[in-house]
Amino acid sequence: MSNVNQVRISVENLSRNFQEVHPGLTKQEAMEESNRCLYCYDAPCITACPTGIDIPTFIKKIASGNVLGSAKTIMTANPIGASCARVCPTEELCEGACVLNHSTKPIMIGNLQRYATDWAIQNEQILFQPGKKNGKTVAIIGGGPAGLASARELGRLGYDVTIFEAEEKAGGLNTYGIVSFRLPKEISYWEVKQVESLHVRIRTNTRVGKDISVEAILENYDIVVLAIGMSSVPDIGVSGEDLAGVYDAIEFVKETKTKPISNQFLKKRVAVIGAGNTAIDGATCSVRLGAANVKVLYRRTIEEMTAYEFEYEFAKQDGVEFRWLTAPKRIIGDGQGHVKEIECIKMELGEPGEDGRRRPVPIEGSEFTLEVDAVIKAIGQSRYVDLIEEFALEHNGGVIKIDHNTFQTSNEKVFACGDVIFGKGQGEAMVVSAAQQGKETAHAIHKSLFHSVTETS
């Protein structure tokens, strides 16, 4: 496989492939870049950031040598600001709005944000103080970006906050789902630590509905925030999905973030089904595990693909091949229970469906097979419908219904934010919007209990 990233990818030392791809800016680069920022007034980059970080100010603080102040400016607005510096589609957000797009080239806002937060991480800074206790208790179910962001704000407002997290570590998809070479888990852990420093208790290895009952939660806390995100990748609905060698992309990525890197993909041929960011992460992970050939099969075209442009570019540089208008028909085993081939069918785009996107229609008789050693399913995520129903909340196919101003569900003491309220057909869910919703949920809770919003300072 010829590819540009090949130089960076080592077949001998697979673990090296999972180290962060981009080095951070050096001090000199950060100085030069931060001094290039115009420090606009009423800057469009602030509006373009879903969490509204005061970008010109944090950049000015890097330039002045007040890096601690810079990190505070970032993290005040965005409790997940260190991760976001790495995983935000900045060219669609802040950098896309930079006024310098109209004259020279935009400021590297993401990289500068990373520079400031990396500094805070390396210097072990604790940025915020807990607020004076106000006597109210909040249970947050799920310690991903949305849960952590609301916990951070509630902690600063003086709430007694407990996060219930099913996994061994908090951080949600930032810890387990986004590949290490884009987001090392240590970054996510640091954000978790910032939240813990506000006296927020995090009960890990505790799955609500299993390790603790829904009733117990509803009874023992004044307010409940549901921030459970989405669940595993659903079945594609073709035969052979149970064969060995068929993976759920999220589980697959999680393995690379939690276990020693294995060499079972070395020289293998991999097909990834889907073309969202999860598919891209599954594909690039496979390349980095030493796979000989990785193909992304997508039943629509590049136009409908939900992966971010930078992710797509990154995958192409990794040598990933894209097969558009291609859908899996069945996965064929080798007779010993292991994947051998995948049969596909060519598609064409028909009339627009419910979500407005043109619906792919199979072209009869266009079947073909590809020889593969592994199939990675990445066609989105299913929903925790059972748990939502246990909470007796109104939902639409697992998307919890909320009042968009208050983040309140059909049960007025239960609030919901993050991927769990992420509607279908809205493109890809983002860490930064989960963080913003978490923040807004906290402010809405505070308003509902105290009828006024006290600014945290």
Partner 1 sequence: MADLRINLAGIESPNPFWLASAPPTNSGYQVQRAFEAGWGGAVWKTLGDPILNVTSRFAAVSFNGQRVAGFNNIELITDRPLEVNLKEIYETKKRFPNHTIIASLMVEPSQEKWHEIVKKVEDVGVDGLELNFGCPHGMAERGMGSASGQVPELVEKQTYWAKEAAKTPVIVKLTPNITDITVTAEAAVKGGADAISMINTINSLAGVDIDSWNTIPHVGGIGAHGGYCGPAVKPIALHMVGECARNPRINIPISGIGGISNWKNAVEFLLMGATSVQVCTAAMHHGFRIVEDMIEGLDHYLDERGIASVMDLVGKSVEKYSNWGDLDLNYKVVAQINNDICINCNKCHIACEDTSHQCIDMLKDPSGNSLLKVREEDCVGCNLCAIVCPVDGAIDMIEIPSGLPPMTWNERQAALGVVSCESNK
| Residues making contact with partner 1 (CB under 8 A) | 26-28, 35, 39, 41, 57, 60-61, 63-66, 68-69, 72
Query: CB-wise, 99 or 126, nearer to ligand SF4?
Result: 99
Asked if residue 440 binds ligand FAD (CB under 6 A), the reply is: no
The option from partner 1, ligand FAD, ligand SF4, none interacting with 236 (CB < 5 to 8 A, set by class) reads: none
Residue of 82, 108, 154, 208 that binds ligand FAD (CB under 6 A):
208
Asked if residue 328 binds ligand FAD (CB under 6 A), the reply is: no
Query: CB-wise, 242 or 309, nearer to ligand FAD?
Result: 309
Burial 148-174 (b: 16+ CB within 10 A, else e): bbbbbbbbbbbbbbbbbbbbebbbbbb
Least distance to ligand FAD, CB of residue 432, Å = 6
Binding segment toward ligand SF4, per CB under 6 A, in 9-17, 41-49, 212-220, 351-359: 41-49
Asked if residue 432 binds ligand FAD (CB under 6 A), the reply is: yes
The option from ligand FAD, ligand SF4, partner 1, none interacting with 370 (CB < 5 to 8 A, set by class) reads: none
Asked if residue 98 binds ligand SF4 (CB under 6 A), the reply is: yes
Residue of 198, 217, 253, 272 that binds ligand FAD (CB under 6 A):
253
Query: CB-wise, 7 or 41, nearer to partner 1?
Result: 41
Asked if residue 99 binds ligand SF4 (CB under 6 A), the reply is: yes
Binding segment toward ligand SF4, per CB under 6 A, in 39-47, 123-131, 165-173, 417-425: 39-47
The option from ligand SF4, partner 1, ligand FAD, none interacting with 45 (CB < 5 to 8 A, set by class) reads: ligand SF4
For residue 269, what are the CA distances in angstroms to 70, 234, 344, 457? 45, 22, 15, 53
Asked if residue 184 binds ligand FAD (CB under 6 A), the reply is: no
Query: CB-wise, 347 or 387, nearer to ligand FAD?
Result: 387
Find out whether 371 and 356 touch, Cβ atoms under 8 Å.
Answer: no
Residue of 45, 161, 261, 417 that binds ligand SF4 (CB under 6 A):
45
Give the contact letters, 79-108, x = binds to ligand FAD (CB under 6 A), - = no: --------xx--------------------
Tokens of 139: 């249970």
The option from partner 1, ligand FAD, ligand SF4, none interacting with 228 (CB < 5 to 8 A, set by class) reads: ligand FAD
Asked if residue 21 binds ligand SF4 (CB under 6 A), the reply is: no
The option from ligand FAD, partner 1, ligand SF4, none interacting with 107 (CB < 5 to 8 A, set by class) reads: ligand SF4
The binding site for ligand FAD (CB under 6 A) comprises 87-88, 141-147, 164-167, 172-173, 177-178, 207-209, 227-229, 250, 253, 277-278, 281, 384, 387, 418-419, 429-432, 434
